[in-house]
Structure 1
Amino acid sequence: MDKGYDSYDIDSIVEYATKLEGKTLRQMTGLDAIADPHQRRGSFGNAVEEYYFKYPINSSQVPDFDKVGLELKTTPLKRNSSGELVAKERLVITNIDYMGIVNENFEESHFLKKTADVLLITYLYEKDKSPLDYTIELVARWGIPEEDFPQIRHDWETVVEKVRSGHAEDISGGDTLYLEACTKAANAEVRKRQPFSTVSAKPRAWALKASYMTTVQRKLLKAMSKIPRTRGEESMDLLALLHERFAPYFGKTELELEALFALSASKNLCARITNKILGVGEDSEIEEFQKAGIKPKTMRLKASGVPKEAVSFPAFRYDELVARPFENSAFLGYLQQKYLFVIYKEDKEGNYLLSDICFWQMPEKDLDEARLCYEQMQDNVRKGQAAISIKSADTRCCHVRPHGRNAEDVCPQPFGPPVVKKSFWLNQNYLKDEIESVLGEDDSESINPKNR
């Protein structure tokens, strides 16, 4: 069968693949229908393999184009609420064999072999279109960049160490930054044996996080700023690199840092200081943060350790709140975000000094309390009582309060008159306890050397 490319020539394969850019599967294959991706996951990728590249679908562990060692991966983009293109989902690489992985090392791992040389085909998911009419936005030959190896190695070893210690059941996406061990089973009840425990664990697969894939694809389309590394820093993971950058500035006030970096006063001064410390432009997107899904956030702590202000999230719409379960809510997305807290602490004179930095993500054990807050507010809105908020005393971690410009800045509710805009907030005392807990840990989550 004439495939249209030479399967023994990698350049021929890539050249043939690039013909897909800007086109749809319907245009390039003449297909009339494929399986609904909601019912058969991977049907778009399977159709690309079977009907465009004309090779049979298989579950072989060898590369898809085995004659040249090239792996084919299709992955969707979507437009977010701001109209930006972002990865719709993580990129699943290969299943994890708990029994075998404990005998691997990263450099010779099956994961690394599967990502050594990838033909990446990216398409734009649009809800109301047939998958046959999704536009293929990008075709590129890709492999994990050398600068990402330290962090991905760290992520891989973090997961594997849990398996080696007999705790595969405790693996969590929050453990890692770029690479994760995502759950992969037909239903939530499926379990697999692990080698050093009688407790079975959820089946998992290696996957590159959606935040990482967003950055990969944006970088293929446009440049981002990377944190510059000096000699000897090439092998550092992201936590160690941040420590190197911030440590010289601990103990300096905001005004001292403003003068040191020749910055003008502004509302986002501390955010600009952070970028200056990291050696990137004031308004730059930082590639490493984008890949890890990290959002820098300035935290001003009073001398007592309590944040000067509670942390708020964007205002919600009452109709959307009622319609969306917690699992699909924007609120859950905010809570699962990983933050870089850049901490300024008040001294005896009332000045705020750069004192520490740490990574923080809400622990999974606290999500049930956040759910309670969310569902209580849902119930209020369903009863036409959106004016009644959830107080900080009602749950340990979060509450609801107004988030409008003034009392006239209102939003309609589905079962009553318009009510002032509101949002979810993290409780100040909860944040105090969380920050103290992270900074008190004897591990790499704490960046300041006095806490290591």
Structure 2
Amino acid sequence: MNNAPQSITELLERAQAIAGLSLQELANQVQIELPLNAKKEKGWTGQLIELSLGATAGSKPIQDFPQLGVELKSLPIDRSGRPLESTYVCMTQLLHAHGETWQQSSVRNKLSHVLWVPVLAERSIPIAQRIIGHALLWSPDKEEEATLRQDWEELMEAVAFGRVDEITARHGQALQLRPKAANSKVRTQAYGRDGQLIETLPRGFYLRRSFTQALLEKHFANLS
């Protein structure tokens, strides 16, 4: 396993070095085996890239490169460069919505500085042949942060006032709050409408595909 990069420049150099490689080639470099079934190993591609680039956070709820203040997000795309799915950001603490601010939030911390690594990952492409694209380092501009903040505040207000089970994937312009659990039997506690404790599915924040597609288009337009 690589040592953690000591600077943003070193991180970007590592990301540039793996661009164009297949997942099989990258797996060979770090000496791990490809999963037989990509569906059963969801998250494996991100873990492979984390290992290759020297991420140190592991499963801790902090940025992947805490010494650099950078989060790593692999982004599956199609041949046209469009994201194939929404992007998981982090879990939310349903019992602690009261009093939490956007500035203190895990969502803002995770999204303040992101290294996006696109991966050509259409379902028709065998996992071994999927290709790593050129990474981009992104921080939200004022407009993007305002949108994220508004979504976050509206969603967390709904949680705080006991309406968590009324939130659907339709809520939020850029951010969604959706169930996130290994299976439907997993439960956590939240507050109901009358302030009582209820059992519900754990929830995680996700970025909509439309949001990540817009930031990719903006980035590559600036390069041309």
Normalised to the residue count of structure 2, the TM-score between the two structures is 0.87
* Corresponding position of 2:14: 16
Q: Which one-letter code corresponds to 2:122 in the other structure?
A: E
What is the SS of the residue equivalent to 1:86? coil
* Corresponding position of 1:87: 83
Q: Which one-letter code corresponds to 1:218 in the other structure?
A: E
1:295-374 aligned at under 5 Å gives the runs: none
* Counterpart Cα distance in 1 of 2:111 and 2:140: 7
* Corresponding position of 1:126: 122
Q: 1:181 to 1:6 in 2, by over 3 A?
A: closer
* Corresponding position of 2:23: 25
* 1:154 to 2:171 alignment: no
For the 8 Å contact 1:44–1:131, the answer to whether it is kept is no
Q: Which one-letter code corresponds to 2:22 in the other structure?
A: T
Cα displacement string for residues 176-230 of structure 1 (whole angstroms, at most 9, x for unaligned residues): 111111221122343321143333232111111111111122222226xxxxxxx
Q: Which one-letter code corresponds to 1:144 in the other structure?
A: P
* 1:208 to 2:204 alignment: no
* Counterpart Cα distance in 1 of 2:105 and 2:20: 35
* Counterpart Cα distance in 2 of 1:138 and 1:198: 46
* Counterpart Cα distance in 2 of 1:21 and 1:218: 18
* Corresponding position of 2:48: 47
* 1:64 to 2:81 alignment: no
* Corresponding position of 2:75: 75
Q: CA deviation at 1:54?
A: 4.5
For the 8 Å contact 1:26–1:32, the answer to whether it is kept is no
Q: CA deviation at 1:28?
A: 3.6
Q: Which one-letter code corresponds to 2:43 in the other structure?
A: G
Query: Percent identity, aligned pairs only?
Result: 23
* 1:174 to 2:173 alignment: no
What is the SS of the residue equivalent to 1:194? strand
* Corresponding position of 1:445: none
For the 8 Å contact 1:191–1:202, the answer to whether it is kept is yes
Q: CA deviation at 1:39?
A: 0.5
* Counterpart Cα distance in 2 of 1:184 and 1:6: 29
Q: Which one-letter code corresponds to 2:88 in the other structure?
A: V
* Counterpart Cα distance in 2 of 1:44 and 1:98: 29
Q: Which one-letter code corresponds to 2:199 in the other structure?
A: S
Structure 2 residue runs of 5 or longer lacking an equivalent are none
For the 8 Å contact 1:34–1:47, the answer to whether it is kept is no
Q: Which one has the largest radius of gyration?
A: 1
* Counterpart Cα distance in 1 of 2:204 and 2:177: 5
Q: CA deviation at 1:130?
A: 2.9
Q: 1:25 to 1:162 in 2, by over 3 A?
A: same
* Counterpart Cα distance in 2 of 1:199 and 1:62: 28
1:427-446 aligned at under 5 Å gives the runs: none
Q: 1:210 to 1:94 in 2, by over 3 A?
A: same
* Corresponding position of 1:410: none
* 1:186 to 2:182 alignment: yes
Cα displacement string for residues 235-267 of structure 1 (whole angstroms, at most 9, x for unaligned residues): xxxxxxxxxxxxxxxxxxxxxxxxxxxxxxxxx
What is the SS of the residue equivalent to 2:67? coil
Q: 1:8 to 1:211 in 2, by over 3 A?
A: same
Structure 1 residue runs of 5 or longer lacking an equivalent are 224-452
Q: Which one-letter code corresponds to 1:198 in the other structure?
A: L
For the 8 Å contact 2:27–2:48, the answer to whether it is kept is no
For the 8 Å contact 1:120–1:141, the answer to whether it is kept is yes
Q: CA deviation at 1:6?
A: 5.9
Q: 1:56 to 1:107 in 2, by over 3 A?
A: closer
* Counterpart Cα distance in 2 of 1:78 and 1:57: 28
Corresponding pairs, count: 216
* Counterpart Cα distance in 1 of 2:56 and 2:108: 24
- In the TM superposition, structure 1's runs of 4+ consecutive aligned residues that sit over 4 Å from their partners are 54-57
Instruction: Report which structure shows greater RCO (CA 8 Å, sep ≥6).
Output: 2
Q: Which one-letter code corresponds to 1:220 in the other structure?
A: H
Q: CA deviation at 1:122?
A: 0.7
* Counterpart Cα distance in 1 of 2:92 and 2:221: 33
Q: CA deviation at 1:164?
A: 1.2
1:204-353 aligned at under 5 Å gives the runs: 204-222=203-221
Q: 1:29 to 1:202 in 2, by over 3 A?
A: closer
* Counterpart Cα distance in 2 of 1:91 and 1:172: 16
For the 8 Å contact 2:57–2:64, the answer to whether it is kept is no
